[in-house]
């Protein structure tokens, strides 16, 4: 099992959800998060004073898949849906996952994902 985490621009939320739905990924978790990377935030004027905003709003997706084949499908779908070509498009991480347990039925591993 593999866990995929993707941090993308807020405005790409619906595009990524649609892309995952199109490849029939059913289980996703979505968070509103704040972060910064190469984009480094921005400056704006608030009540006549310059304010540096270093953390930007982003959306984080967490998806667990059963195989390396699905990992590549999910990553490719997210990349295509979240791409703008500008700094701040986001990052995708994948991790090996040791176990999964469905609380209701006590199923484990692959069975817990379906």
Phi, psi values for residue 27, rounded to 5°:
-100, 110
| Whole-model pTM over 0.75 | yes
The Cα-based distances of 87 to 37, 62, 80 in angstroms read 9, 22, 15
Structural domain including 34 reads 2-42+50-113
Looking at the structure of the chain, the number of domains it has is 1
- pLDDT grade for 114, boundaries at 50, 70 and 90: confident
pLDDT at 40: 67
Average pLDDT over residues 24-47: 82
pLDDT at 113 > cutoff 70: yes
Q: What is the DSSP string of the chain?
A: -EEEEEEEEGGGHHHHHHHHHHTT---EEEEEEEE-STT--EEEEETTEEEEE--EEEEEEEEEESSHHHHHHHHHHHHHHH--SSTT-EEEEEEE----B-TTT--BTHHHH-
CATH number of the domain where residue 85 is located:
3.30.70.120
Q: What is the mean pLDDT of the chain?
A: 91
């Amino acid at each position: 099992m593999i866990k995929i985490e993707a941090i993308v621009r807020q405005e790409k939320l619906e595009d990524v959800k649609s892309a995952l739905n199109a490849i029939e990924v059913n289980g996703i978790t979505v968070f509103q998060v704040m972060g910064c990377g190469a984009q480094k935030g921005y400056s704006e004027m608030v009540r006549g004073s310059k304010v540096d905003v270093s953390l930007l709003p982003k959306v984080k997706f967490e998806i667990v898949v059963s195989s390396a084949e699905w990992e590549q499908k999910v990553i490719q779908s997210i990349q295509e849906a979240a791409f703008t070509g500008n700094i701040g498009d986001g990052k995708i991480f994948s991790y090996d996952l040791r176990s999964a347990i469905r609380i209701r039925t006590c199923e484990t591993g692959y069975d817990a994902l379906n």
